Chains A and B, each alone.
Chain A
Amino acid sequence: DAGVIQSPRHEVTEMGQEVTLRCKPISGHDYLFWYRQTMMRGLELLIYFNNNVPIDDSGMPEDRFSAKMPNASFSTLKIQPSEPRDSAVYFCASRTGGWNTEAFFGQGTRLTVV
């Protein structure tokens, strides 16, 4: 398996623009997580899905952020409109439902909003 695949790897956009980050989880994994990493706040869980259903979105910072998982092999995280404070590395991770299974991370998307 190719692992968790995220695209794009880098994104530079202007304030106010819409940004869409994409993730393809590992085949067969039931859970998908979106994390945001910044120097100040570390790794924050934004939202996670179980079997394509959003379970907990309490970490989504505000209404400008939205996430979808239309099927088991694809998820998006959208920011509209983007702001400079959204600049961060966004990670997608997936895992199976087993109790002792770790989450496998994608390479991350480095977002810069100017």
Chain B
Amino acid sequence: AQKITQTQPGMFVQEKEAVTLDCTYDTSDPSYGLFWYKQPSSGEMIFLIYQGSYDQQNATEGRYSLNFQKARKSANLVISASQLGDSAMYFCAMRSTMNRDDKIIFGKGTRLHILP
């Protein structure tokens, strides 16, 4: 069965420090995609970054990067130089196409608090 695990329910980080949010996944599908979304207190879901299972390099988008370790089935999100506006809920998600299915499932999320 496909599964996303985020083991950190909450994190507190000092402003300007780097943050790593953990995500592990489980799938037997050789071809899959991994996503990270941000959900601020206003409630909307904001796409941050994508990593394909066959991508050779780790994805980067501005201050966001994805530490993809395929053998360990982990896809940690790294936020460099954190800002107060980074305080939010962060979700890791996976898309795979096992059995001709094609859906995106989410982990339970990590609530990040950036301290001034």
Contact = CB atoms under 8 A, between A and B. Distances in A.
Interface string A32-76: 010100000011010010100001100000000000000000000
Contact of A102 (B47, B107, B108): B47
Interface residues of B, number: 19
Contacts of B35: 102-103
A33 B106 contact: no
B52 to A, nearest CB: 6
A43 B91 contact: yes
Contacts, number: 48
Contacts of B103: 33, 45, 48, 55-56
Nearest to A3: B44
Contact of B102 (A55, A91, A93): A55
Q: State the majority secondary structure of interface residues on A.
A: strand
Contact of B44 (A55, A99, A102, A108): A108
Interface in A10-43: 31, 33, 35, 42-43
Interface of A: 31, 33, 35, 42-43, 45, 48, 50, 55-56, 89, 91, 93, 99-100, 102-105, 107-108
Interface of B: 33, 35, 37, 43-45, 47, 50, 52, 91, 101-109
